[in-house]
Amino acid sequence: MPLLNDPVLTRLKEIRHADILVGIPSYNNARTIEHVVKAVLAGFARYFPGLRCVLVNSDGGSTDGTPDVVMNTVADDRAAIFVRHAGEGGFRIATPYHGVPGKGSAFRTIFEIARRLDAKACAVVDSDLRSITPEWIELLVKPVIDHGFDYVAPLYLRHKYDGTITNSIIYPLTRALYGKRIRQPIGGDFGFSGALASFYLTKDVWDSDVARYGIDIWMTTTAVANDYRICQSYLGAKIHDPKDPGADLSAMLHQVVGAAFDLMNTYERVWMSHEESADTPVFGFRYAVGLEPVPVNLPRMIERFRLGAEELGDVWDKVLSRKIIKEIRRSAHMDPDIFHVSDDIWVDIIYAFAVAAKRKAVYREHLLKSLTPLYIGRTASFIREMWDADMNEVEKRIEELCLRFEQAKPMLKTLWSSKEAP
């Protein structure tokens, strides 16, 4: 089945080309997407009045009228395309899960439309954003148009308990591996050049976890590892539907971390050659913002960690050293008031899991699932430690964790190259 259907191809011929293209992937986001569309259109009108701008809503078969909201919101003088992956008169982009469109598949459609329109600069933004403003469009696109950057990562403030997968795994791991300090490598809202969009399309990843939650880390890592020019733009607050870090984020954890581990194989020569990290240029004016609280349930999180320590010993024995397992069990028996998982042990755990994924020491799904209680335990430890801390103190602690990942990288290289079990 072709990636784009005939009505879309006809519409593309009418539009001919685009200077700027902004894509919004969606699936049942009728409640929130109108605000996002209005912000994008206002950004077009306010900051790029002389340029040809296109809005693309790549929809995954919504049943709540999301595409209708998009089409009814679009101003008469703006070109808009909506694309369905499923449903009557539509088509489905290949995803690893039948009937469930993935974010990566939605992005693939956006990349293809950008290629056909020869778009100069592009951006993608989440469909559930409540904090997006027209300025976001300027900040994500102008570094590409005016300064020649190929990839613009978001830099925004989030509640100290939000983005825990980023803070505890993806940011410090990506920074240590590839030498770029990109604070939000899976932020969800990115700017990129048309050339980079076309490059993404050449990669055969669309039947993998990249087609789901893994698309963000894949985009960032692919841009960095292939020497595209990278920057960040400060967008203020990231306010969307909040997620309890102790709730079941296992699917997202598996796909994001799994994609990060896969990319370590793909770009082994790249990350093996980097010894330390460097700052990445930042655009935008930093200012204080109000943040919505994120609910947490520490007792439940610690209990999930303890259950994992009781039930997953057989799996962990194939992945982790005796020293690490001993420390995990020690933490599992701690009083909740002093519960702690140290930076050193956490870094060792992540690197050991990365090596185990490379060696296929454990069936992939079992390996990634067995990381979940460890991640929840580490998150509980961080929350307990940072309970009374402000954002500056939280960022300082995350910086300390990042430095520990960097300092332990020689150990990772040794384990990665060794054929022996940990």
Burial of 6 (0-12, 13-18, 19+ CB in 10 A): exposed
**Looking at the predicted structure, is the pLDDT value of residue 241 above 70?**
no
Options 3.90.550.10, 3.40.50.1010, 3.30.930.10, 3.60.110.10; which CATH number does 6-283 get?
A: 3.90.550.10
Q: Under a CB-based contact definition with an 8 Å cutoff, are residues 113 and 147 in contact?
A: no
Per-domain residue ranges of the chain:
6-283, 298-415
What's the CA gap between 251 and 393, in Å, rounded? 30
Q: Under a CB-based contact definition with an 8 Å cutoff, are residues 96 and 207 in contact?
A: yes
User: What integer pLDDT is reported at residue 75 of this predicted model?
Assistant: 56
Residue scoring higher pLDDT (228 or 93): 228
Q: Which amino acid appears at position 369 of this protein?
A: K
Q: Under a CB-based contact definition with an 8 Å cutoff, are residues 138 and 39 in contact?
A: no
User: What integer pLDDT is reported at residue 95 of this predicted model?
Assistant: 21
Structure tokens at 385: 């430690």
DSSP state at residue 337 = G
Classify strands 79-84 and 53-59 as parallel, antiparallel or unpaired: parallel
Looking up tokens 């896969």 gives 262
**Looking at the predicted structure, is the pLDDT value of residue 398 above 60?**
yes
Of the candidates 34, 22, 257, 27, which has an alpha carbon nearest to the alpha carbon of residue 142?
22
User: What integer pLDDT is reported at residue 172 of this predicted model?
Assistant: 98
Tens of pLDDT, residues 184-231: 999 889 999 999 999 999 998 888 777 677 899 999 999 999 999 999
To which H or E segment does residue 128 belong?
none
Residue 57: count other Cβ atoms within 10 Å of its Cβ: 30
What's the CA gap between 368 and 370, in Å, rounded? 5
**Looking at the predicted structure, is the pLDDT value of residue 39 above 50?**
yes
Q: Under a CB-based contact definition with an 8 Å cutoff, are residues 132 and 114 in contact?
A: no
Q: Give the up-direction half-sphere exposure of residue 96: CA atoms within 13 A in the CB hemisphere.
A: 14
Q: Which amino acid appears at position 215 of this protein?
A: I
Crossing angle of helices 391-407 and 171-178, in 10° steps, is: 40
Structure tokens at 380: 């509980």
What's the CA gap between 136 and 212, in Å, rounded? 24
Going from the C-alpha of 42 to that of each of 185, 240, 334, 382, the distances in angstroms are 26, 20, 53, 39
Mean pLDDT of 157-166: 88
What's the CA gap between 50 and 48, in Å, rounded? 6
Structure tokens at 153: 């990562």
What's the CA gap between 252 and 190, in Å, rounded? 19
User: What integer pLDDT is reported at residue 100 of this predicted model?
Assistant: 39
Q: Under a CB-based contact definition with an 8 Å cutoff, are residues 402 and 183 in contact?
A: no
Q: Under a CB-based contact definition with an 8 Å cutoff, are residues 189 and 125 in contact?
A: yes
User: What integer pLDDT is reported at residue 88 of this predicted model?
Assistant: 30
DSSP state at residue 210 = G
pLDDT band (50, 70, 90) for residue 422:
low
Q: Print burial letters for 87-122: b (CB count within 10 Å at least 16), e (below 16).
A: eeebbbbebbeeeebbbbbbbbbbbbbbbbbebbbb
User: What integer pLDDT is reported at residue 91 of this predicted model?
Assistant: 22
Q: What spatial distance separates the first Cα and last Cα of the chain, rounded to whole Å?
A: 46
Mean pLDDT of 393-406: 97
What's the CA gap between 419 and 416, in Å, rounded? 8
Residue scoring higher pLDDT (218 or 251): 218
